[in-house]
Structure 1
């Protein structure tokens, strides 16, 4: 891949932003260094966007919801970027690529930018690239960033740790709604929205009551904010205006309580610590002496000839020397 010089001003063009994100996603060290330098230059332009995380069970209609919700936001004069965290793309083929083609409105909206996550990455790798892409989109003038979690498992909590408000979409007519919700997802949810209420309004309202009852017995992620439960239709657009008002109210409440700034600061520090851990692990695995001893020690641990504690101590001492 040919190196390209990109200035902070180039990010204001879609082509320049796309090239910068390619640097972020590249595995080449020189490209990664260029991306870090660019991020350092534009950090002063970041931090002002509304960061919204979105997750939902399979079939909940995330693509349609994001298409119509994002279009509603652009109609209000906002610039919207849609990013994805998809750690399962190696197995599933990366459904966000299909989602992009199904977002008929946003895909042709000049005020919107859609970027799928890199295919075949580990969760940590995708999260790192998504965080840096988010900052580039903010520097490019996008004032609302929608971060969609496509995969399952830890991706929900990872996305929740890079956004200001975390929205969980639910189905109205699932037989065992509460059993299908992971406790960890509810613990990080700021808003729950029962989607597809146009199909069965009574079922949607009934499901909303269930979720409200479940939330009452849990400790909210933010002491200043009790997560509300809304009923919406991503297909018809019903409830989307009210949902946006709820998100705006969340910003007002959390900024007034100070939890918004506190959350942003804690996210930055956790990200820094995560990058340090990643860097140390990379350096550890690249250490020539550690690399030479690793195979034999791994085999001894696997065969039960050496305890894991002694093996780790041995390798760490070698690394530190």
Structure 2
């Protein structure tokens, strides 16, 4: 009787105990697998089988600055070289907001639909303050990332020229060895420094938008001169007429440039990545270009020149790292920085002091 009096409508009853949201067994299994460091030989074997996980682990080693990782990475790259150089490499650039990610997803999905295997190497800008990077391209390409015949690898640009990750060139080799026959490199933006991207691809694609004042850039050298094709994106809705006008303006501008060594005449076309219109025409243009340069011998000549360029770039990068990691340079660097701030020494004299310390090793 007393028990019934204590019961009220507001009394909380014991519910069903909720299970743990995280399985300790699964967590321990994941942690164990992460601790296991596969040998370079194991990674190479898995990469050649098309294993994306192994490919990602190998790229992580390539991007690492640790000496032990670099040794493994060099071994992996050397083993993968015989299976490389069997893809079409496409560089895609454009100003922020031009729709690069949307275009690449629509373009990539079209390529996989016709039997191609596509690897997207997306370069994300790094903050000059925090040095961090969002690396959100997989989120922005939500359909392509789920495609079995596609692979997306975002990398931070760091302080490298043109927003090209330091090891992008080596990453291309690994992707080719994994069986990807079309490599797309997305850059952070446009500018004179995009030469770095141009020097590692077979076809350079420049995305533009109409009505943004870009037409005036058509009479300037630099990025326009390097482009093999110009695509006016977002040619949909009220923008269709503007896109057609922009196409005419760019076509006129391209006639001012000298003939390319490839003997290819750059083309201008419109497309809507959002509505997936004009995407097929872009691939037809690239196919025509590849057929032309393979027939006239420019394709192989360009690849050889690119290899020489990246040999020199690798030497420059290694010398730079060696210089700043030199013990005497590291000890004198802060002293010279303070002397510069106090106007006690000129920048040129400070640089000579550091170089003398480096060469006296």
Larger mean CA deviation between 283-292 and 247-256 belongs to 283-292
Show the counterpart of 2:300: 261
Residues 82 and 113 in structure 1, CA contact (< 8 A), matched pair in contact too: yes
Show the counterpart of 1:234: 273
Secondary structure of 2:236's counterpart equals: coil
Show the counterpart of 2:14: none
Cα distance in 1, alignment partners of residues 332 and 127 from structure 2: 33
**Structure 2, gaps ≥5 residues long:** 1-33
Give the structure with higher Rg (CA).
2
TM (norm. structure 1) is: 0.89
CA distance 1:126–1:106, shift in 2 (3 Å)? same
Q: Cα distance, 1:73 vs. partner?
A: 0.5
Show the counterpart of 1:173: 211
In the alignment, does 2:56 pair up with 1:18? yes
Show the counterpart of 2:112: 74
TM (norm. structure 2) is: 0.80
RMSD of the TM alignment (CA)? 2.5
Secondary structure of 2:215's counterpart equals: coil
Show the counterpart of 1:62: 100
In the alignment, does 2:288 pair up with 1:249? yes
Larger mean CA deviation between 272-281 and 23-32 belongs to 23-32
Please show how residues 184-199 of structure 1 align to structure 2 within 5 Å: 184-199=222-237
Show the counterpart of 1:160: 198
In the alignment, does 2:314 pair up with 1:275? yes
Q: Cα distance, 1:286 vs. partner?
A: 2.2
Q: Cα distance, 1:224 vs. partner?
A: 0.9
Residues 160 and 166 in structure 1, CA contact (< 8 A), matched pair in contact too: yes
Residues 53 and 147 in structure 1, CA contact (< 8 A), matched pair in contact too: yes
2:81 to 33, 39, 43: 43
The size of the alignment, in residue pairs, is 318
Show the counterpart of 2:38: 4
Residues 43 and 55 in structure 2, CA contact (< 8 A), matched pair in contact too: no
Q: Cα distance, 1:244 vs. partner?
A: 0.5
Residues 52 and 163 in structure 1, CA contact (< 8 A), matched pair in contact too: yes
> Cα deviations across residues 253-277 of structure 1 (Å, max 9, x unaligned)?
1122222222211211111111111
Larger mean CA deviation between 32-41 and 7-16 belongs to 7-16
Cα distance in 1, alignment partners of residues 356 and 181 from structure 2: 48
CA distance 1:237–1:160, shift in 2 (3 Å)? same
Q: Cα distance, 1:154 vs. partner?
A: 5.5
Secondary structure of 1:145's counterpart equals: strand
Secondary structure of 2:247's counterpart equals: helix
Cα distance in 2, alignment partners of residues 10 and 90 from structure 1: 37
CA distance 1:75–1:265, shift in 2 (3 Å)? same
> Cα deviations across residues 54-73 of structure 1 (Å, max 9, x unaligned)?
11122222122111111111
**Structure 1, gaps ≥5 residues long:** none
Cα distance in 1, alignment partners of residues 332 and 120 from structure 2: 45
> Cα deviations across residues 70-122 of structure 1 (Å, max 9, x unaligned)?
1111111110001112233567974651x32232321111000011113x722
